[in-house]
Every structure is written in structure tokens, then in C-alpha cells.
Amino acid sequence: MKVESLKKVYSMKGKKEFIAVNDVSFAVNKGEIFGLLGPNGAGKTSTIKCICGLLQYDAGEVLVKGHSMQRSRTKGLNHISAVLEGNRNIYWRMTVEENLEFFAGINGIASGKTKQRRDYLLKQFQLEEQRNVVVNNLSRGMKQKVAIVISLITDKSIILLDEPTLGLDVGMSQDLRQLLRTIAKEEGKTILLSTHDMKVVEETCDRLVIINQGKTVAHDTVENLMKLTNQHNYRIQMKDCIPAEIKQKIKQITVKFNEQKNDSSFTYQITIHNPNDLFEIMNLLKISNVELISLERTNYDLEEVFMNLVKGVEKNEISS
Ligand SMILES: Nc1ncnc2c1ncn2[C@@H]1O[C@H](COP(=O)(O)OP(=O)(O)OP(=O)(O)O)[C@@H](O)[C@H]1O
Ligand SMILES: [Mg+2]
């Protein structure tokens, strides 16, 4: 699947035109999970809607197995399954199984033919017990899983998922991330998912684009992006303030050093270039004789990653 210089403009009566997607390009290969990352309003849903033919685009091209989604939409649609926000692809008053039969049916697949696949997917997604439950009575996370199973029942090769883990609890989100990997790798599916959660991208995606206000700010492998962003952030909590001379020595090792006084402790936020520098810092802390309460690696924060990237773009623009 290929997206080339995609542009989507919303025009509403009496209002200025709004460019929601501005010159976005990427390609997703078979067996690959590709992430579309960006903050609220970045243009993720608009991009996905253009890809699955729900929106007409204003410039550029979306090619699905070589078919333009503008000029030969029906041919392209033969290869795409999508789950958009709000689980609109489910019939709430039918059971899980009835939904699966129905959606296989409207795609021209006989019930007998999908029986095996239904059983497989319900087992994979741990929905066997909910098989005969009316969808409306399921929890939000389960409904989300059902929506994804429906998108997989017809066995199309390209799956588009708009914020698949939004609103799921930690366990269910983790299960789903694992399942998506299995589906992509074992069944050779092409998966495009949108999210604003860096963790989802980190665990499931091979490559990604980050968009902001419709524009691409990064397009790379997840591995490279992780290297690019400062990964070695730690939060150290100490019972008391570290003596000045030791603080000075630590500051010489760190890239960033920040001290914060709490009610009954001190928190140090540090960034280092090389993870091995942590050994030296720990040694210095040991010499300080101040009690260590905790040490943790700080999570990658999308906002931070994102802000760094945006700043990087600005710097390039200024220097050129
Ligand atoms: N039908 C519409 N008419 C006018 N503007 C729209 C329409 N749909 C979306 N927009 C605007 O386009 C921009 C991109 O919206 P979009 O829904 O694609 O963002 P998103 O990245 O999916 O955000 P979120 O993370 O909140 O889901 C937003 O500023 C939004 O207000
Ligand atoms: Mg959206």
C-alpha cells in the first residue's frame, strides 16, 4: 500500500479551507505493521479515511495493490478492511458470532467456509466465552476486540486500525499488541495503525511516520527513532539532598541534571549519553552516604520525542 504526497482539505461553507493532511507519503509492505503517530488533530483519522476510500483527497495518491483509491476505489476496497473510531463496523444487537457470520456473508464468503477461521480468531482474541453474547452487553475493550476480529474474518490483506488500543486497560492493550504482531507475521498481513501512544508503536510497529498539523515530522524505523530520541533518562529518588561536591561530579557525567525537593526526599532527573555512565553515578551516590529510595528509567514520552522532532525541523529550516 502506498500513500504519495497525500493532501486532504476540508472546506466548510462560510469558513476558511482547512488543510488536515499536507503532503504525507509512506508505503507499507506485506507482513509489516506501520504506525501513524501524532497528537490529537494531527490528521491520522483523515489519512486513514482517505486510504479506505471514505474521504476523497485533494492531491497526491493512495495506491492499494496498485489501484488508485480515487479512480478505482472498488478494486482497492477488495483488499482493505478497516476499523475506525467508534466501532462502527459492529451490529450491537447481534451476538459476536452472528456479527462474524454477517460480515463474512456480505463479503461473499459462505458461513461453512469461515467456521475454522472464526474459531481460530475467537480463540486468539480470547473471545470464545463471549461467542453467543450480544455485542452491546460486552465491555468496551471486548467490543474493540470484536471489531478487530470482524476486520480479520474476511481475510483481506490490508488492515487499517484507527487507535486500536484507545481506552483499553493495560492487560488488554498488551494482549492486543501481541496479537497484532502475530497476525502480521504469521498471516503476512499489512497493518497500518494510528495511535498517539508511543508504547504501542514501540511494541508493535516496524516503521512509522509522525505527523503534526497534517505534516510529516519523522519517517523512519521505530528502532532509529528510539536511538534518535534521548533514551537514557532516569529518575533517582534519595532520602536527602546529595552533597554539593558529589552533585558537581554527577553533573559532569550527565547531559541533563535536575533536582527537585519533595516533602521527605529529593528527586533527581538525569539524562546520560551512555547507559554505562549509570555505574559511575551509582558509585558517587554510594559515596554520598545518602539513602537511595528508588531508581527508575523514565518512560519514553511521546510529547518529548515529538517536541524534539519538531524543534529539529525548525532548526533545519533556520539554518537553510
Ligand atoms: N469533517 C471535518 N470537517 C472539518 N474539519 C475536520 C473534519 N474532520 C477532521 N477535521 C479537522 O482536521 C484535523 C485532523 O483531524 P483528524 O481527525 O484527522 O485528526 P486525528 O489525528 O485523527 O486526531 P485524534 O487523535 O484526535 O483522533 C483536525 O483539526 C480536525 O478538526
Ligand atoms: Mg483520530
Tell me the per-residue pLDDT of 101-132, one tens digit each, with 9 for 90 and over: 999 888 888 878 888 889 999 998 899 999 99
What is the distance in A from the centroid of ligand 1 to the CA of 45?
Answer: 7
Angle at 126 between CA 121 and CA 131, to 5 degrees: 75
129 plus 149 within the same structural domain: yes
Sign of the Cα torsion 101, 104, 107, 113 reads: negative
Q: For position 149, which CATH number holds?
A: 3.40.50.300
Tell me the per-residue pLDDT of 32-45, one tens digit each, with 9 for 90 and over: 999 999 888 999 99
167 plus 263 within the same structural domain: no
CB of 66 closer than 6 A to ligand 1?
Answer: no
Q: For position 254, which CATH number holds?
A: 3.30.70.260
30 plus 89 within the same structural domain: yes
112 plus 251 within the same structural domain: no
Q: Which ligand is nearest to the CA of 49?
A: 1
Question: Which amino acid residue places its CA nearest to atom 10 of ligand 1?
Answer: 20
CB of 257 closer than 6 A to ligand 1?
Answer: no
Q: Which ligand is nearest to the CA of 196?
A: 1
Sign of the Cα torsion 141, 143, 144, 150 reads: positive
Supply the mean pLDDT for the chain.
88
Within 8 A by CB and 6+ apart from 277, the residues are: 232, 253, 254
Tell me the per-residue pLDDT of 197-227, one tens digit each, with 9 for 90 and over: 777 888 899 999 999 899 998 898 988 877 6
Question: pLDDT value at position 66?
Answer: 95
Mutate to test the pocket of ligand 1, among 46, 211, 306 (most ligand atoms within 8 A of CB): 46
What is the distance in A from the centroid of ligand 2 to the CA of 82?
Answer: 13
CB of 49 closer than 6 A to ligand 1?
Answer: no
What is the distance in A from the centroid of ligand 2 to the CA of 138?
Answer: 23
Kind plus residue range of the DSSP H or E element containing 237:
strand 233-238
CB atoms within 10 A of CB 94: 15
> How many domains does the chain contain in total?
2
- Terminus-to-terminus CA distance in the chain, angstroms? 33
Paired strand residues for 161: 83, 193
CB of 43 closer than 6 A to ligand 1?
Answer: yes
223 plus 244 within the same structural domain: no
pTM: 0.79
Ligand 1 closest atom vs CA 46:
18
* Sheet of strand 256-261, all strands in order from the earlier edge strand to the far edge: 256-261, 266-271, 233-238, 292-297
Domain around 279: 233-297
